[in-house]
């Protein structure tokens, strides 16, 4: 028997133990990968420059409007059309700010681009309208690689605590603290494999293999969605990645290869 108190508890636990977006959420989801931590840090760094630039520009703008209008300065200067020093300052300063933003940006870009000897490679194929996952590093008893499809759970099949439009029948299981390479492609149209808390977003293009890597630095269930309009059921092909401990992962591989 489920009363209201245990129901609200369940919902609270569901959002604590799972990494999904919350209703009316404004900030980022909690990071579960070093790459995503880097993305959030870069966002905050650039946000700092944004605030400084905004304050400076609006201060200059409003003080010009306030002090130098026709009612306060009835006589205008015929020859005051430009100031070389001022123009040099407002050209060179933004150039240095751009360089200061570009360095951490490129550093993160190339750090995340690098895939060195991953523990595991998973092939991901986007279909209209589901995802399929292929673990080619392991084979089943019949000698084929482990592969399965992942469909969204219809509302009628949801159990208490599961997320509507987000939970799937077969999750993508990965070991925690391991470098994992994803090879992503599309079977029909362009999809996009995106999981915010792992810092993943990559297009799944037909006829092309795209590559990303990530490392889940904690166990948990991470929710994402297809992020490229791919047809009428685009909103109904969510992604669920479950990071488990290495022993648990091996147990899962064993059961999946039966």
241 binds Cu ion (CB under 5 A): no
Confirm or reject binding of residue 181 to Cu ion (CB under 5 A): no
Report whether 150 contacts 129 (CB < 8 A). Answer: no
Helical (H) or strand (E) element with 191:
strand 191-195
Number of residues that bind Cu ion (CB under 5 A): 4
Q: Which stretch binds Cu ion (CB under 5 A): 86-94, 103-111, 157-165, 188-196?
A: 188-196
Near Cu ion by CB under 5 A: residue from 20, 195, 212, 230: 230
Give the containing element (helix H, strand E) for 180: strand 179-186
218 binds Cu ion (CB under 5 A): no
**Token pair recorded at residue 206:** 């037909």
CB 36 to Cu ion: min, Å: 21
Sign of CA pseudo-dihedral 140, 142, 145, 151: negative
Closest separation in Å from C-beta 233 to Cu ion: 8
Does the footprint of Cu ion cover residue 234 (CB under 5 A)?
A: yes
The beta-strand segments (E) located in 32-140 are 120-127, 130-139
Site membership for Cu ion, residue 243 (CB under 5 A): no
Q: Are 182 and 202 in contact (CB under 8 A)?
A: yes
Q: Is 204 in the site for Cu ion (CB under 5 A)?
A: no
* Binding-site member from 191, 215, 223, 241 for Cu ion (CB under 5 A): 191
Residue 172 CB, shortest distance to Cu ion, in Å, is 16
Strands 210-215 and 172-175: unpaired
Shortest Cβ distance from residue 230 to Cu ion (Å)? 3
Whether 30 and 15 have beta carbons less than 8 Å apart is answered as no
Q: What is the C-alpha to C-alpha distance for residues 185 and 195, in angstroms, rounded to an integer?
A: 16
Q: Which stretch binds Cu ion (CB under 5 A): 24-32, 81-89, 181-189, 232-240?
A: 232-240
Cβ atoms within 10 Å of 40's Cβ, excluding its own: 15
Q: Does 125 bind Cu ion (CB under 5 A)?
A: no
Which of the ranges 59-67, 110-118, 153-161, 218-226 carries the binding residues for Cu ion, by CB under 5 A?
218-226
Would you mind telling me the total number of residues written for the chain in this entry? 258
CB distance 200 to 180 below 8 Å: no
At closest approach, how far in Å is the CB of 250 from Cu ion?
A: 32
Specify the residue for token string 């130098």: 68
Residue 127 lies near Cu ion (rule: CB under 5 A): no
CB of 99 to Cu ion, least distance (A): 37
Q: Is the peptide bond before 129 cis (omega within 30 degrees of 0)?
A: yes
Contact between 226 and Cu ion per CB under 5 A:
yes
- Interaction site with Cu ion (CB under 5 A): 191, 226, 230, 234
């Amino acid at each position: 028997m489920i009363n209201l108190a245990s129901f609200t508890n369940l919902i609270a636990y569901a959002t604590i133990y799972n990494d999904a977006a919350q209703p009316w959420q404004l900030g980022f989801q909690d990071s579960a990968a070093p790459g995503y931590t880097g993305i959030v840090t870069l966002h905050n760094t650039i946000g700092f420059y944004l605030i400084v630039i905004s304050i400076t520009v609006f201060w200059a703008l409003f003080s010009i409007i306030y002090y130098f209008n026709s009612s306060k300065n009835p006589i205008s200067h015929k020859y005051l059309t430009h100031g070389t020093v001022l123009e040099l300052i407002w050209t060179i300063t933004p150039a240095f700010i751009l360089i200061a933003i570009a360095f951490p940006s490129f550093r993160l870009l190339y750090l995340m681009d690098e895939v060195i000897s991953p523990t595991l490679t998973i092939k991901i194929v986007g279909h209209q309208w589901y995802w399929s996952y292929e673990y080619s590093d392991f084979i089943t008893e019949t000698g084929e690689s482990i592969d399965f499809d992942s469909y969204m759970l219809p509302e009628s099949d949801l159990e208490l605590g599961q997320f509507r439009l987000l939970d799937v029948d077969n999750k993508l299981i990965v070991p925690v603290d391991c470098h994992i390479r994803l090879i992503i492609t599309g079977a029909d149209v362009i999809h996009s494999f995106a999981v915010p808390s792992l810092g993943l977003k990559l297009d799944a293009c037909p006829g092309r293999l795209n590559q990303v890597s990530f490392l889940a630095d904690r166990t948990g269930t991470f929710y994402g969605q297809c992020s490229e309009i791919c047809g009428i059921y685009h909103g109904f092909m969510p992604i669920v990645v479950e990071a488990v401990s290495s022993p648990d992962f091996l147990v899962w591989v064993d059961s999946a290869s039966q």
